[in-house]
Amino acid sequence: MKFQLVFAVLLASFFKISTLEVSAQENQKKIPIQLAAISDLDIGDPISFSPGMMLDVGLRIMNKPKINGSRIREREFYLKPFLGFYKREDYHTAVMLGTDLTYRATYPSGIFWDANVGAGYMQLFYNTPVYVYENGTFTKKKFQGYANVVIKGAINLGYDLSKSNEKIPLGIYVGGGMFFRYPNNHSFVKHPYLQLGVMYTIRKDKK
């Protein structure tokens, strides 16, 4: 009987702690800021890597934590405005601006994975001189670049240190994805890419 009573008290305590943690999460704003080094891949012969950077800011729009005893798995949806670029040597430099929709699952250990889909605007600039044939001769022109629509998706795996200690609001992640730009000779061009990044999470109590 004593064992059953102790077990019931412990179970009630775990449930109470979990409820308080979930309530605290719901009453908190969570804003992850991510900065990644990216590499745009040109899968040819040989394979080439074009360096770049990507910055995004997460705006949480939904949080559905899953409780398993005293352990809580966060399930969140974010809107993530992004700004990035990459440079292909002797070809072009591209600047991207848009928004991702992200689903993220974070486990009690701090390990997380997320899936992203998004769209935006891309501006391309040639890195080499542009010559135009005019009046029987080639003339060097200052070319300002051209606009593309970009559609993208990615999957990432990472570790959030703030799950074990909120005083360390940092995380790391690796991932890969694909983006498509249009138009290029009236067709889509695919760009696989890899990324390695760091995350800084701002937590604020809702007013």
pTM reported for the whole predicted model? 0.80
Above 50 in pLDDT, residue 134? yes
In this predicted model, what pLDDT tens digit does every residue of 6-43 receive, in sequence order?
434 433 443 343 333 444 455 678 899 999 999 999 87
Nearest Cα residue to 154 out of 19, 75, 66, 56:
56
The pLDDT, as a whole number, for residue 46 is 77
The pLDDT, as a whole number, for residue 10 is 39
> Facing residues of 69 across strands?
none
Distance, CA of 32 to CA of 199 (rounded, Å): 6
In this predicted model, what pLDDT tens digit does every residue of 98-119 receive, in sequence order?
999 999 999 999 999 999 999 9
In this predicted model, what pLDDT tens digit does every residue of 119-131 receive, in sequence order?
999 999 988 777 7
Phi, psi of 25 (to 5 degrees): -65, -40
> Mean pLDDT for the chain?
84
Query: Using alpha carbons only, how large is the chain's radius of gyration in Å?
Result: 23
Above 70 in pLDDT, residue 84? yes
The pLDDT, as a whole number, for residue 135 is 81
In this predicted model, what pLDDT tens digit does every residue of 177-192 receive, in sequence order?
999 999 887 889 999 9
The pLDDT, as a whole number, for residue 80 is 97
